[in-house]
Amino acid sequence: MSFPQRRLRRLRRTPTLRRLVAETRVAVDDLVAPLFVREGIDEPQPIRSLPGVVQHTRDSLRKEVRELVSLGIPAAILFGVPARKDAQGSAAWDPDGIVQVALGDLRDEVGDDLVLITDLCLDEYTDHGHCGVLDGAGQVDNDATLELYAEVALAQAGAGADIVAPSGMMDGQVAAIRDALDDAGHHTVAILAYAAKFASALYGPFRDAVDVTIADGGDRRGYQQDPANAREALEEIRLDVLEGADMVMVKPAVPYLDVICRARAEIDLPIAAYHVSGEYSMIKAAGANGWIDATAVALEQLLAIRRAGADLVLTYFAREIAEELAD
């Protein structure tokens, strides 16, 4: 007996058929736009290694979020570039610090039409560029840093953040922040944990965006994860869920699709993926050279991230892709 030849191409014949059977989609509803706001500037500043992305003034940030809302983008994550840095990173929890005042502006501008997420870390604010405070030996002191993260969480929640997103990879950071928020009555403020964050060379352009140089040629390998380790990433994710994370994140995205996929198989909370600065810049650079179609490659990568199992994607392409999808 012979079997009829299986013909899988039948369902690929027309765009409408393909649309009908598509398993995964990229929708504007899943995009989170990263935004930079810099203290003490009068004009938005371009970022050399992130073409099309700027350090905003308070005013240009207001305008940008109005446009994001009109495009249907549901959320933004805010990063601050302070005018002065110190050893502790105290501008991070100063009620008059740049992110706190920008949060007030944005709430005033868009109400609840945009979910306001704040990156919760110290590296933009410390003069040595590490994500925490240093001990006498120049190492990042985990538990002393947790106390400062709690202060930052309170400042951000007090200024109106809907979601705080700790990105420093200190042990116990989610529990410490949850405790601090709850003790202060901020029960409704959610935590998006940068749970599996790898020590990646793809963060280079971001450090231009926030004017961070790690002192003495240092790196973050003592706290961010080794790119070699996927099982350990799952441990990080499980721990953050136990500590009270409302959502977990894998970062970067495309080189770590295996981690997203394994996390999806095990975790039923929303999973976010951060398509990071270097992932954006590589596509932009190749596009500018005419070597690839940048928009098509961006869409393909975002689709891959969704296919791997991420619910939301933080991406510098958010606005561009929202415009593309609206056409």
Give the footprint of ligand PBG on this chain (CB under 6 A): 119, 121, 123, 131, 167, 203, 206, 220, 276-277
CB of 284 to ligand PBG, least distance (A): 13
CB of 158 to ligand PBG, least distance (A): 20
Q: Which of 63, 85, 197, 284 is catalytic?
A: 197
Nearer to ligand PBG among residue 30 and residue 119 (C-beta): 119
CB of 148 to ligand PBG, least distance (A): 13
Extract the tokens encoding 95.
Answer: 């009620």
Please name which of 106, 40, 26 lies closest in space to residue 68, comparing C-alpha atoms.
Answer: 106
Torsion angle (degrees, nearest 10) of CA 113, 39, 51, 209: -110
CB of 235 to ligand PBG, least distance (A): 19
Nearer to ligand PBG among residue 121 and residue 250 (C-beta): 121
Q: Which of 63, 85, 251, 284 is catalytic?
A: 251
CB of 122 to ligand PBG, least distance (A): 8
Torsion angle (degrees, nearest 10) of CA 107, 111, 117, 120: 30
Judge whether 305 and 273 are in contact, CB under 8 Å: yes
Q: Which segments of the chain does DSSP mark as H helices, in order? A: 15-21, 58-71, 98-110, 142-158, 173-183, 204-209, 231-242, 257-266, 277-288, 294-308, 318-326
Nearer to ligand PBG among residue 121 and residue 298 (C-beta): 121
CA 61 to chain CA mean position, Å: 17
Q: Is 85 a catalytic residue?
A: no
Nearer to ligand PBG among residue 37 and residue 121 (C-beta): 121
CB of 200 to ligand PBG, least distance (A): 8
CB of 167 to ligand PBG, least distance (A): 4
Q: What is the CA radius of gyration of the chain?
A: 20
Residues present in the chain in total:
327
Please name which of 178, 168, 43, 153 lies closest in space to residue 100, comparing C-alpha atoms.
Answer: 153
Question: How many Å apart are CA 103 and CA 108, to the nearest integer?
Answer: 8
Nearer to ligand PBG among residue 219 and residue 323 (C-beta): 219
86: which DSSP letter? B
Residues 6 or more apart whose CB falls under 8 angstroms from that of 230 comprise 258, 259, 262
Nearer to ligand PBG among residue 109 and residue 144 (C-beta): 144
**Helix (H/G/I), strand (E/B), else coil: 24:** coil
Question: How many Å apart are CA 260 and CA 270, to the nearest integer?
Answer: 11
Please name which of 81, 76, 73 lies closest in space to residue 107, comparing C-alpha atoms.
Answer: 76
Q: Is 251 a catalytic residue?
A: yes
Nearer to ligand PBG among residue 26 and residue 192 (C-beta): 192
Q: Which residues are catalytic?
A: 197, 251
